Structure 1
Amino acid sequence: MEDIRRHRNVKLMTDQKKLVKYTSKPSFDHFQIFNQHLVGIENKKVNILLNKPIYVGQAILDILKALMYEFHYKNNEAHVWRRYSIAFYGYSLCYEIMTDDVYKDMEIIKDHFDFSGYPQTHYLFSNKYKKMPGKFKDELDGVPIKEFVGLRPKMYSLIYDDGNTEQEKKTAKGIKKCAVKKQLKHANYKECLFQNVSTMNSMKLIKSQNHELFVNHIVKKGLSNFDEKRFWINHIKSYAYGHFKI
């Protein structure tokens, strides 16, 4: 959400008198010299109109967590799946489910799902909740996941069969998509999880400094199986802080 307090007044100066005028103000904060004829002056805003609800960002996350807990504890656990385990939990849920037909089970709680991405020939297909907030979506729209590795929130990899070939879907927070696609494989995620082998990934970024574009080559830590927001029993099993078993 936009933070009004961070707004600044920025002016480009070519006149020395105006430069002295704006740098002499109590609100003066910063300057940047671009060349011998051009200087940027940054002044803090003297008056601020707080017309943006900055608490909305936190409220959305709280509502999201409440929605996910309600789905998991009230609907899922009580009515549908008796044998399951949570493979991954963040702003999405990944379950390992032991059942005869998972899609028949999902039909029981279909009002919690947006099935608009499913093939139209699938008996669960429906546009009733298409793009409706508060509804869950199937990650692969009806295609079963063959293998899943979850390292941290927004850092996971899965394998699925699209009918012709075996495909991989990978995400890694903090790493550019092009680097994830070219440098990371599903095997790297498994190696990181089971052998505690982190990766170093390189990427090129286009940046601007003093209005001059340049390419910056950076190398940073990529895959890591350590999540500081969880209490770890071993390198695979963990509990949320506050869990009664800790």
Structure 2
Amino acid sequence: MENIEKRVNIKLVTHWENQGKALGAQDLIAKPQFHSLSIFSENLVAVQLRKTKLIYNKPIYLGFCILDISKTLMYDFHYNYMIKKFSKIKLLYTDTDSLIYHIFTNDFYTDIKPDLSSYFDTSDYDTNNIFEYPKLNKKKLGFFKDENNGKIMKEFVGLRSKMYAFNLENKTIAKAKGVNKCITKKMTMNSYKSSLFNKKVQYYSMLRFKSIKHTIFTQKLNKIGLSYNDTKRHILDNNIETLAWGHYKLR
């Protein structure tokens, strides 16, 4: 959804003083809504002016509604299905539309089999899968999908929002928002464990393309790749478990 407040008003001028009805750079800079300018050459200047009038013709409430409706669906699934279904379960990580659990049970796939048609999208499972799951609810809204398609998640480390890693049967999947894929491909579970247990902030060097005044160049950055400090949650003394800010145990 476009945020119209981010629209800018740019004037390209080739003269200092006014020429007829065309304002020159001198008058544009003198305007109260003047923001900044960029000089491209002796005869070309881009002047940015702040917007003095905005027409809110976009449904800006839509993003808020989508996030809140998603929360009701996620909470309903978590509290009214998973918590009631499994007596011993621990929520490890959640995002807008995903949940990662540690479930203590003998056979999770057998446990949920009677409820597949009500809660789960199994369309990505192989036709002859070992669980004997039928293909159901393909791409239907409100149904949950096993992203690993039956592959067992053996280990999980979550540091903060959109920064986690887990081991499957034959590979490691690492996620770190804002970090180039060529860097995350080299990250291991030990990288995440080291950050978590040793309280380390790990920096990584990466390259990116940047454009200033339409001149494209390569820039080398040294960014935080992994960090143990989750500012969106209260970290308990064991440095593993967290509580939401405002939790009654923090009062």
Tell me the TM-score range normalised by the shorter chain.
0.7 to 0.9
Residue in structure 2 matched with residue 201 of structure 1 by the alignment: 204
1:118 to partner: Cα distance: 1.6
**Counterpart code for 2:159:** L
Q: Between Structure 1 and Structure 2, how many residues are aligned? A: 239
C-alpha distance after superposition, 1:48-70 (max 9, x if no partner) = 22111212222222222221111
Residue in structure 1 matched with residue 3 of structure 2 by the alignment: 3
Mean Cα deviation higher: 16-25 or 43-52: 16-25
Residue in structure 1 matched with residue 65 of structure 2 by the alignment: 59
The separation in 2 between residues aligned to 1:242 and 1:109, in whole angstroms, is 34
Residue in structure 2 matched with residue 107 of structure 1 by the alignment: 113
The separation in 2 between residues aligned to 1:241 and 1:146, in whole angstroms, is 29
- In the TM superposition, 1:18-37 aligns within 5 A as 18-20=23-25, 22-37=28-43
The separation in 2 between residues aligned to 1:230 and 1:87, in whole angstroms, is 13
The separation in 2 between residues aligned to 1:167 and 1:105, in whole angstroms, is 26
Residue in structure 2 matched with residue 85 of structure 1 by the alignment: 90
What is the SS of the residue equivalent to 2:190?
A: helix
Tell whether the 8 Å contact from 2:83 to 2:89 is kept in structure 1 after alignment. no
The separation in 1 between residues aligned to 2:167 and 2:78, in whole angstroms, is 24
1:24 to partner: Cα distance: 4.9
1:150 aligns with 2:158: yes
What is the SS of the residue equivalent to 1:41?
A: strand
What is the SS of the residue equivalent to 1:169?
A: strand
1:127 to partner: Cα distance: 4.5
Tell whether the 8 Å contact from 1:229 to 1:241 is kept in structure 2 after alignment. yes
1:190 aligns with 2:175: no
1:132–1:181 distance in 2 versus 1, CA, 3 Å: same
Aligned equivalent of 1:134, options 129, 142, 146: 142
Counting aligned pairs with the same residue, the percent is 38
**Counterpart code for 2:227:** S
The separation in 1 between residues aligned to 2:76 and 2:3, in whole angstroms, is 31
Residue in structure 2 matched with residue 212 of structure 1 by the alignment: 215
1:125 to partner: Cα distance: 4.1
1:186 to partner: Cα distance: 1.6
The separation in 1 between residues aligned to 2:15 and 2:144, in whole angstroms, is 58
Where in structure 1 do 4 or more consecutive aligned residues deviate above 6 Å?
A: none
Residue in structure 2 matched with residue 124 of structure 1 by the alignment: 133
RMSD: 2.0
